[in-house]
Amino acid sequence: MEPAEYVIFGLCIVLFVGFIVNLLIHILAIVYGKWKLSRKLSPPVVEDLPGISIIKPLVGVDPNLFDNLEAYFNFKYPQYEILFCIQDELDSVIMIAQSLILKYPKVDAKIFIGDTELKGKKNVGVNPKINNMIRGYEAAKYDLFLISDSSIKMKEDTLMDMALHMTEKIGLVQQMPFVCDRPGFVSHLEKIFFGTHHGKMYLVANFLGINCASGMSTLFRKEIIEEAGGLAHFGKYLAEDYMLAQAVLDRGYKVLLCSQTALQNSGYTSLTTFHDRLIRWTKLRNATVVTTMFFEPIYQCIVQGLIMAFVTEYLFSWSPLVFFMVHVLIWFLLDYILLSIIQQGPLPFSKFEFLVGWILNEISYPILVCRAHWDPIITWRSRKYKIRWGGITTEVTSAPPSQSK
């Protein structure tokens, strides 16, 4: 063999091993997802449950917001407070928060209006969500605090489920991102994305103890975050969720998934908003965990199928077309099983709609990854940011803070 042939042969072997690893990741996600998401912890004596401060950062109103927020007033949980953090004093979301507080006078709930800058102090960093939450965080009276994004809808036992997972060695309990059943094809695309591509990596990373955090629904021990410099310390990062989880891991605590998924229930769904969000997240991941930039593209179904078709032809003389077709079919079936497990009930669409949605997602994802590389500027709620390697962020343009997506 020529030296060049050795190199090609070695590369093919590495790629083939990576392909087998991916198959194992898929199977592991299914097995772990089935176990994790169907495992209900039995509640202890209610009085033993710790109090929880729920921080709700709010910007703008959407058609489902009232219902989503109302769920927080009906938790089956003995001790909690709700801290609404509203970025802009002219935002009509204030009225929604106020009307809920009036409707449920027995629930301990407060409103904090305006980020730190509005109160004459300097903002704690560039991250607008942290700037918005900081006053609620400082006022939080319990040892545990939950950051819960505005679009999340919770069941009445979700807070209990999260609290029960917060045992001695655990520093952070998170919900795996998923979506509520909503009408419309784009919401189906979202469900398919979070229940397949995203869910697979999320489950396996959490099973292996790899930091894979999403800040949409996360319960923290306040003492750990205080030890790391307080929430303000994370204002310099846009991927504050990842950095917060890393701070917990660095202090010897574990990060755990709870058994209920984070049900996003935004009232607005559009293909552009969905894709722009995925592009923004890809940019965040690329800048925060550089290795994802290399691995993510080749761990897509179509890209991997094309590469492996040539690799297996080279190694085993298999037909590339047959290999590609079988590869896509197996990936598709494993994804369907995984989505059904994460959904934990009947899917709100037919198998045919799943097929169409899955194909669309798989074709569009590599394009979204390319678009993320093309323009490194991150746009979030009308503000633009640039992230340096390691996650430190600078804002490149400012816009009125009240803009919704």
Contact partner, 299, from ligand LYUJ6TKZ, ligand UDP, none, Cβ < 5-8 Å per class: ligand LYUJ6TKZ
Q: Which of the listed partners (ligand UDP, ligand LYUJ6TKZ, none) does 87 bind, with a CB threshold of 5 to 8 Å by partner kind?
A: ligand UDP
User: 298: which 2 tokens?
Assistant: 């080749």
Distances (CA, A) of 324 to 11, 22, 99, 305: 19, 15, 56, 5
Question: Which stretches of the chain bind ligand LYUJ6TKZ, using CB under 6 A?
Answer: 21, 25, 129, 149, 198, 201-202, 204-205, 208, 210, 212, 214-216, 239, 241-242, 281, 284-285, 288-289, 292, 295-296, 299
In contact, 287 and 388? CB cutoff 8 Å:
yes
> Which residue, 59 or 173, has its beta carbon nearer to ligand UDP?
59
Residue in 88, 115, 241, 335 annotated catalytic: 241
Active site residue 241: yes
What CA–CA distance (Å, rounded) separates 147 from 370?
31
Residue listed under structure tokens 């629930």: 107
Report the SS3 class of residue 355: helix
Question: What does 57 bind: ligand LYUJ6TKZ, ligand UDP, none (CB cut-off 5 to 8 Å by kind)?
Answer: ligand UDP
What is the torsion angle, in degrees rounded to the nearest 10, for the CA atoms of residue 231, residue 236, residue 238 and residue 243?
A: -60
Strand partners, 153: 263
- Report the nearest approach of ligand LYUJ6TKZ to the CB of residue 397 (Å): 18
CB of 371 to ligand LYUJ6TKZ, least distance (A): 15
Which among ligand UDP, ligand LYUJ6TKZ, none contacts residue 113 (Cβ within 5 to 8 A by kind)?
none
How far apart are alpha carbons 177 and 53 in whole angstroms? Answer: 21
Q: How far apart are CA 118 and CA 114, in angstroms?
A: 6
- 204 contact choice in ligand LYUJ6TKZ, ligand UDP, none (CB below 5 to 8 Å, kind-dependent): ligand LYUJ6TKZ
- Taking the complex as a whole, the smallest distance from the CB of residue 262 to ligand LYUJ6TKZ amounts, in Å, to 9
Nearer to ligand UDP, 216 or 287 (CB): 216
Q: Alpha carbon 382 to chain centroid distance?
A: 20
Enter the tokens of residue 203. 């489950």
Instruction: Compare residues 205 and 224 and give the one whose CB is closer to ligand LYUJ6TKZ.
Output: 205
> At closest approach, how far in Å is the CB of 25 from ligand LYUJ6TKZ?
5
CA distance readout (Å), 46 to 43, 51, 57, 65, 160: 7, 11, 28, 30, 10
Residue whose structure tokens are 């969500």: 129
How would DSSP label each residue in 383-400?
Answer: EEEEE-TTSBEEEEE---
- What is the binding site for ligand UDP (CB under 6 A)? 57-59, 87, 128-129, 132, 149-151, 216, 277, 380-381, 405
Q: Which residues are catalytic?
A: 241
